[in-house]
Amino acid sequence: MTAQILDSKQLAQQIRTELKQKIYDSQITPELAVIIVGNDPASEIYVRSKEKACQEVGIKVETYRLTQDISAEELKELIDLLNNDRNINGILVQLPLPKHINPQEILTRIKPEKDVDGFHPLNTGLIIQKQPAAFSPCTPKGILRLIHTVKQDLSGLNAVIIGRSQIVGLPVSHLLLNENCTVTIAHSKTKNLSEICKKADILIASVGKAEFITGEFIKPEAIVIDVGINRTSNGIKGDVKFAEAYEKAAYITPVPGGVGPMTIAMLLENTYEAFFKQNHS
């Protein structure tokens, strides 16, 4: 038995098409401000994809390209300006930031109602409290949407998340807990990782190590979500050794193409929702 590929490209495209129609029908123009600091090539690529996706669905995007040596205070001043600009519905600060700037301090400066990336502590707290008002971070939200295409009721399933980052591991754990999964969060100090993973009905790898999860980690018939994007001499690889996991899992995401398109689709959706939160509440 081999796995069915969970290819998010099609789902992401469907979400984008529907969003484009909704924006057109409502005769609105949501607006997103994107801030990029320095000239990290990977960040440039991500920002360009986000700009293109926004333009396609009718979201206006204004990108602020700032030099590497900008101070935290200057960056906060720009965020304050955008927070107070009624035309701007969402603010996204592309990570990573230069080492001299504390990202948490910057992300906390964004007004929670404009925090379309879902990284503000208030939005994180609202998710933990299961409050509907929260913006879910884009990658975890996209992962849940993808899983729901093949399984609606996740209640009682064992979910193992490898990685406890603020942007993927931790929030996806809370979202799965809210779906009544039994959640285990593994990290670099976890012992007997393969034994833990073997019990996972849903296995989410967000480690950042190419092909770290081999076939022996996979429970037969599991849903395997590979978040990793690792640049190697053999091209981009996920955190999961695809060929081995493919032989055992029921569903698996490929890399590239598995989770990334959903991240962008969820950013568009959050920006659209931000417009209504600010204009109709």
Q: Is residue 250 classed as helix, strand or coil in its secondary structure?
A: coil
Residue span binding ligand NAP (CB under 6 A) among the ranges 75-83, 128-136, 186-194, 269-277: 186-194
**Alpha-carbon distance 186 to 207, whole Å?**
10
> Least Å distance between CB 201 and ligand NAP?
19
CB 180 within 8 A of CB 156: yes
Least distance (Å) from ligand NAP to the CB of residue 146? 11
Q: Is 140 in the site for ligand NAP (CB under 6 A)?
A: no
User: What CA dihedral angle connects 108, 175, 31 and 66, to 10 degrees?
Assistant: 40
Instruction: Build a one-symbol-per-residue string for 162-181: x at contacts with ligand NAP by CB under 6 A, - elsewhere.
Output: xxxx-xxx------------
Region binding ligand NAP by CB under 6 A among candidate stretches 10-18, 97-105, 108-116, 160-168: 160-168
- Candidate ranges 21-29, 63-71, 85-93, 201-209; the one touching ligand NAP (CB under 6 A): 201-209
Helices (H) and strands (E) in the chain, counts: 10, 11
CA distances 185 to 104, 198, 214, Å, are 22, 14, 18
Confirm whether 94 is a catalytic residue.
yes
From 11-19, 105-113, 114-122, 157-165, give the range in contact with ligand NAP by CB under 6 A.
157-165
> Residue 244, CB half-sphere, CA atoms under 13 Å: how many?
13
Among 43, 49, 83, 190, binds ligand NAP (CB under 6 A): 190
127 touches ligand NAP by CB under 6 A: no
Distance CA 55, CA 61 (A): 7
Q: Is 117 assigned a catalytic role?
A: yes
DSSP state of 200: -
Q: How many CB atoms lie within 10 A of CB 263?
A: 24
Q: Contacts with ligand NAP in 213-242 (CB under 6 A)?
A: 227-230
Count residues contacting ligand NAP (CB under 6 A)?
A: 25
Catalytic residue, candidates 115, 117, 226, 239: 117
Q: Of the candidates 94, 139, 158, 271, which one interacts with ligand NAP according to CB under 6 A?
A: 139
Position 202 contacts ligand NAP (CB under 6 A): no
Within 64-123, which residues bind ligand NAP (CB under 6 A)?
A: none
Two tokens, residue 69: 């040596």
**For ligand NAP, the closer CB: 58 or 163:** 163
Of residues 245-264, which lie at the interface with ligand NAP (CB under 6 A)?
259-260, 263
Percent helix, strand and coil across the chain, each rounded to 5? 45, 15, 40
Cβ 90 vs Cβ 113: under 8 Å: no
Residue 214 CB partners (closer than 8 Å, separation 6+):
241, 244, 245
Using CB under 6 A, list all residues that contact ligand NAP: 139, 162-165, 167-169, 186-190, 193, 206-209, 227-230, 259-260, 263
Active site residues: 50, 94, 117
